[in-house]
Amino acid sequence: GIQVEQSPPDLILQEGANSTLRCNFSDSVNNLQWFHQNPWGQLINLFYIPSGTKQNGRLSATTVATERYSLLYISSSQTTDSGVYFCAVQGAQKLVFGQGTRLTINP
Amino acid sequence: ETGVTQSPTHLIKTRGQQVTLRCSSQSGHNTVSWYQQALGQGPQFIFQYYREEENGRGNFPPRFSGLQFPNYSSELNVNALELDDSALYLCASSLWGGSNQPQHFGDGTRLSIL
């Protein structure tokens, strides 16, 4: 089955810093989503991005499907950005999730 | 637009008991998927329902079962609960369209087994 690897596993930054999270996947996919899971467990859709680049405020994402990776950029980090970021790719009916990147933003 | 809603938010059960978790899909969505998220892990696919039938299943034993109703809402049933069933259970809805439709998640049900 499809394998999804995320890096780094943990990231600790000061407020205002920028960060790049990476997602590598093992097979071609038709769907790739980025999620933010907040400390209360809510899984929030950030991007649906099977290919190309999208931006939403301080966040942007790029997927290079031919090279099987996606990047999530967070600029000018805020403490509310803390949480776990998941990349998930669609295989058959299911989303296959990576292990996540735990981001901690200190004030 | 109404999002995905799950109930209850928290549940405590003991080993051997049975539990039913509920999910209402986002308005306009006809497909429901269930995921189990153990502590410190990414969500794992349990199964998907479309047109009231199971349409794909992950590596979970038969004591995990589900239903989908004509209004597209869904239930997850777990029999003979084990300690390892303690997890966050997430429901996601989407439009049927193969693998190119984004899934939208509810806030989850946190199940604790004592």
pLDDT value, residue A20: 97
Whether A92 sits inside 8 A of B56 (CB atoms) is: yes
pLDDT value, residue A90: 86
Whether A86 sits inside 8 A of B42 (CB atoms) is: yes
pLDDT value, residue B28: 84
Mean pLDDT for B28-42 is 93
pLDDT value, residue B97: 62
Please say if the pLDDT value at position B100 is more than 90: no
Please say if the pLDDT value at position B99 is more than 80: no
What are B54-93's pLDDT values in tens digits? Answer: 988 999 999 999 999 999 999 999 999 999 999 999 999 9
The reply to whether A88 touches chain B by the CB within 8 Å rule is yes
Residue-wise DSSP of B33-77: EEEEE-TTS--EEEEEEETTEEEEE-S--TTEEEEE-TTS-EEEE
The reply to whether A49 touches chain B by the CB within 8 Å rule is no
pLDDT value, residue B98: 59
Q: Which residues of A touch B88 (CB under 8 A)?
A: 41
Which own/partner pairs from B93-96 qualify as long-range (CB within 8 Å, at least 24 positions apart)? B93/B4, B93/B23, B93/B25, B93/B26, B93/B29, B93/B31, B93/B32, B93/B33, B94/B29, B94/B31, B94/B33, B95/B28, B95/B29, B95/B30, B95/B31, B96/B30, B96/B31, B96/B50
Mean pLDDT for B5-15 is 97
Please say if the pLDDT value at position B42 is more than 80: yes
Q: Find the closest chain B residue to A48 by CA distance.
A: B102
What are A16-53's pLDDT values in tens digits? Answer: 999 999 999 998 887 899 999 998 889 999 999 999 99
Please say if the pLDDT value at position B2 is more than 90: no
